[in-house]
Structure 1
Amino acid sequence: MAGNVRLSGRLICVSEAEAGLVRRYLPEHIALTRAETGCLSFEVSPTDDPLIWRVEEVFVDQAAFEAHQARTGASEWARQTKAIRRDYAVSSVDRS
């Protein structure tokens, strides 16, 4: 049986201006992602460092994850935060 797809990592800002963009555009990005078919969980949480957010996502399968990536890539979130560094790892999680 195919596994869930998990993305785990960090969103790393280099300035308060970048962090401001995250704070401004993140609420809509979270709402839209959580409404996607196949999204099991989506959390973007601030860390002790005000310029770094922890990102944890789980999608039901590879197709749902790819649909999320396509939607996100064409979003206002992507346009506004494209210069912000992402440090992500993607893995498959066995559902058995």
Structure 2
Amino acid sequence: MIKLDDWAEIRYLHSTGKHSKREIARLVGVSRDTVDRATVVAEHLSDHVARTRAEPGCISFSVASTVDPMVWQVDECFQDSSALKAHQDRVAGSDWGRVTAGIERRYAIHGL
């Protein structure tokens, strides 16, 4: 598991745009795979959020980091089950779905 300090440093170095992922891995002392895992969400999240919020039937959608650098809190509300299904179908075929396919998801659906 990636350490919180390493994750924060990777995210910071990546956000400056001054370092390649290879260089970040060398500077932090982690593997390139670790850098990829730490940055994949940051690289694609804003587009995913914007696309989701623009979907018909999306009432609300928010994503927040937690104390665990590899866990995100996602709260989403859709008008009905067909809007949720359309969202899941879109995500499955999107860049977000492709690059985050290896990330475990645990969720509960309420009220449908």
TM-score scaled to structure 2, two decimals?
Answer: 0.66
Where does structure 2 lack aligned partners over 5 or more consecutive residues?
1-33
3-state DSSP class of the match of 1:86? coil
Report the RMSD for the aligned CA atoms in angstroms.
1.3
Distance 2:93 2:105 in 1: 17
- Using the TM superposition, give the Cα deviation of residue 16 of structure 1 relative to its aligned residue in structure 2, in angstroms: 4.8
The runs of at least 4 aligned residues of structure 1 exceeding 4 Å deviation read: none
Structure 1 partner of 2:17:
none
Match of 2:13 in 1: none
Q: Sequence identity of aligned pairs in percent?
A: 44
Deviations 1:12-35 (A, max 9, x none): xxx553231011111100000000
Provide the aligned length of Structure 1 versus Structure 2. Answer: 79
Counterpart selection for 1:36 from 55, 78, 93: 55
Alpha-carbon distance, 1:51 to partner = 1.5
Look up the match of 1:47.
66
TM-score normalized by the length of structure 1: 0.76
User: As a proportion of its length, which structure holds more helix?
Assistant: 2
Structure showing the higher strand proportion among its residues: 1
| Structure 1 runs not aligned, ≥5 long | 1-14
**3-state DSSP of counterpart to 1:91:** coil
Cα distance in structure 2, aligned partners of 1:65 and 1:42: 12
